[in-house]
Structure 1
Amino acid sequence: MSHPESQAPEEQPVAPAAPGFLIHNEGDHVAVAVRDITPGQHQAVYMDSEREVTITVLEAIPLGHKVALSDLAEGERVIEYGLPIGLTRRPIRAGQHVHTHNIRSARWQNSL
Structure 2
Amino acid sequence: MDIHFLVHEAGDSVGVVVVEGVKAGQKLNGWIMAEDKTVTFDVLEDIPIGHKIALKPLAKDDTVIKYGTDIGRAVMPIKAGEHLHVHNVKTKRW
Q: TM-score, normalised by structure 2?
A: 0.91
Which of 1 and 2 has higher RCO (CA within 8 Å, sep 6+)?
A: 2
CA distance in 2, matches of 1:20, 1:89: 26
Q: Which runs of 5 or more residues in structure 1 are unaligned? A: 1-15
Aligned residues: 92
User: Which residue number in structure 2 is paired with residue 19 of structure 1?
Assistant: 3
Match of residue 46 from structure 1 = 32
**Structure 1 match to 2:49:** 63
Provide the residue aligned with 1:5 in structure 2.
Answer: none
Q: Which 5+ residue runs of structure 2 have no aligned equivalent?
A: none
- Higher alpha-carbon Rg: 1
Match of 1:3 in 2: none
* Runs ≥4 residues deviating over 3 A: none
Q: Which structure shows the bigger proportion of residues in strand conformation? A: 2
How high is the sequence identity, in percent, across the aligned residues? 40
Which position in structure 2 is the counterpart of 1:13?
none
What does 1:29-40 align with in structure 2 at a 5 Å threshold? 29-36=13-20, 37-39=22-24, 40=26
RMSD of equivalent CA atoms: 1.1
Deviation at 1:70, TM superposition (A): 0.5
* Alignment-derived partner of residue 69 in structure 2: 83
TM-score by length of 1: 0.78
Deviations 1:53-75 (A, max 9, x none): 10111011100000000100001
